[in-house]
A and B are shown apart, each in its own frame.
Chain A
Amino acid sequence: MKNFEDRLKKVSRKAPSPQLDRRVEELLAVRPRRRLAVNVWWAAAACLLTGLVGFTAGSVGGRAPAAQPATAPQEVALQVVYSSPGSPNPFDLTSVNDSATTKPWKVITSVNQGDTL
C-alpha cells in the first residue's frame, strides 16, 4: 500500500504561476501600523479613575463652578476703511476711516487726505 501511495504522490501537479506569488506578495507587503492593544476594561477603568480624581480635586480645592457673564469688548469693535472710488483720479489715496467703540459708545469718522499725483 505504501509503494502505491508513493507512486500516486509522484504524479506531477499543475503549478501556480509566478503571477500568483507577485499578487500575494503585494497583498502581504501592506503592513498595518502596530497599534497598542488595550483591554477595553482597563481603558474603562482608567476613564472612571480620571473622572473621579478630577471631580474630587475640583470639589475639594477649587471654586464652585459659576456662570461667567459674557462682556462686550471694551476697545474698538468696528473699523471700516473706505477708499475713494468716486474720485476721477485713480491715484487719489484719500480715505475715510470709521471706528466704533463701546464704553463709552462712540463712532469716530476721520477723513485722511491722501496724496494725489
Chain B
Amino acid sequence: MNAPDAWIQFALYIGALLLITKPLGLYLVRILDADGKTWFDPVVRPVEQLTYRLCGIDPKREQSWVGYAFSLLAFSLVGMGFTYFILRYQDCLPLNPQGLPGLSPHLAFNTAASFTTNTNWQSYAGESTMSYFSQMVALTIHNFTSAAVGIGVAAALVRGISRHTAKTIGNFWADTVRVTYYLLAPICVVFALFLVSQGIIQNFKPYTTAKTLEPYTIQVARIDDVGKPVMVDQVVDTQTIVQGPMASQIAIKMLGTNGGGYVNANAAHPFENPTPLSNFFQMLSIFAIPSALTYYLGRMVKNQRHGWAVWGAMFTLFVVGVLVCWKAEAAGNPIHQQLGVAVTDGNMEGKEVRFGIFNSALFATVTTDASCGAVNAMHDSFTPLGGLVPLFNMETGEVIFGGVGSGLYGMLIFVVLAVFIAGLMVGRTPEYLGKKIETYDMKLVMLVLMLPAATILGFTAWASISTWGQAGLNNAGPHGFSEILYAFSSAVGNNGSAFAGLTANPADGNPHWNIALGLAMLIGRFLMIIPILALAGTLAGKKLIPPSAGTFQTEGVTFVVLLIGTVLLVGALTFLPALALGPIIEHFLMSSGSLF
C-alpha cells in the first residue's frame, strides 16, 4: 500500500466521481420530470413522442404505486419471455456466424432472469454460447431497460418522499423511455466511441483463427483403441480470437451497472478492457449514475445536505472497503511468501498485470458496491479477506452506491430504518423528511430487509448440503462454502459477479444451480421492488410535518455515522455467522498454513 501511484489513482477516481455527481444529478432532475427540458430535446423529443404514440402511452398521466408496479412487472415479464425465446432458438436466428446452438431451457431461464433483473449473472461463457444477435438484442436490450427500470423505481420512491398528500408516484412508461433515450443512450454512444479509441472491437466478423508465434504442447485425455483412457500430447499452433460488437455492449454494461461481459473473462479480457484509461472510465461509469442519484434525491426533497449525507455514508463504506481489500491483496498470501514466491508483489494470482493489485482491488470493490458484477480480476483468487470485501459489499444489500436506482432505493430503506430506530432518541415519534414513519411503513421496510436475508441464507443452506450444490464447487472447505454464499449473495443482490470457481451450468445438464440462481435473482429484484413502490405510495400520501429545532436531522456527520452503523449492524450482522464459516475461517486457516 506504499505505492504513491496507486494513491494518486485513488484520489483521481474520487475527484472525478465528485466532479460528475452534481451535473449528472441536475440532469437527472430534468430527465425524471416528464416536462423536463434537456439539450437533446430537438433530436430526441420527436423520437420520444413517436414512441409514446406507437405504444399508446400518455406520459402526463401519473400512476398510483399499484399501477406503477403492475406496469413494471408486465414490462419485465414480457421482456424476460422475449429474451428466453431468442436464446432458446438463436440457431434459427440471424447473425450467428459461429453456428452456435440454442440454449438449454434452464440456462435460457437463468440468463433471461439474470438480464431482466439487471444482475447479469452468467452461467455461460459468452464467446462460446451467444450469437451476435443474442448478445445485441436479447441481452443488450435488458442492459438498457433493466437499468432504466431501476432508475425509475428510485425516482418513484424519491417522488413519494418529496410529495405529500399525493396519490401518484410517476409514470412507469415515461420514466423508462426518458431514462433510456435521454440518459443511457446518449452517454453510451460517446462512451462506446471512447472505448473503441482505446482498442475495444466492434464488428460482426466471424471469429479469427490465428497462427501462434510459438507452438506449444499440451496433454489431453483421450480414449485409446482398446477403450482405455489415456493422456496424449497435442501440439497447439493456432488460436481462435473472439470477434463481435463489443464496445457498444461494454458501454451500457458499465453505465447501467449490468456487468454481463461479452466474453467469459469479462473486463479482464484485453478486448473488453484494454488500457488503464479504459479501466478508469469503466470504473467511473459504474458509480456515475448511482452517485448522481443521491444528488437527485437532495434536489428533489429540497435538502441537498441530506443528499450529500447519503452520498457520504456510501462513500465512507466504499473507501473502507477499498482499503481493506487493497491491504489484504497487497499483503498477499503468507504461504507463498514462506515458499519464496512473489515475496514483494502481493497476491497476483488471478489478476491482470496491466491492472496490478490496486486497480484490481478497486475494481472488485466498485463492482460489488454497485450491483455491477463486471470483473477485471478473478475474485475467487483473492485472499480470504480480500474476497470477504466483495462478498460483504453484496450482503449489505448493494447499497454502497449500489446498482443504478436499486442502490438508492436500497439505501433509502436503511435511511428509513435508521430514522425509525434512532429518531425516537430525539423525543419524537420517528419522521423522515417530514413524514411520520408508522406501522405500515415499518412492515414494508422489514419485508425488504427480511426477503434478501431469507433468500440468501435459505438457498445457501440448501446448496451447501445437497449433492447438486456441492457438485458445482471447484474448491473444498471454507473456500467452497464462500463460492456458494457468494453466488447467492450475488444473485439476490442482483450483482452478477461470481467467485468463478463455481460451475453453475454443469456439463451433465443438472439444472439446479441455474434454476435456484434464477429464482434468487427474481426474488432479489421484484419482491424487493413491490414493497419499495408500496412505501413510495404510502409516503406520497402522508401529510408533511414542517421541520423545527426538535426535528430529527437527516444530514450532517451524526446522521452519516448513524446510517453507516445501521447498514453494518442490521444489514451485515445477519451474515456474520455465514461469513465466519467462509472467508473468516479461511483467513485464520491460511495464517496457520492451510489453503483450499
Verify that A and B bind, or say they do not.
no
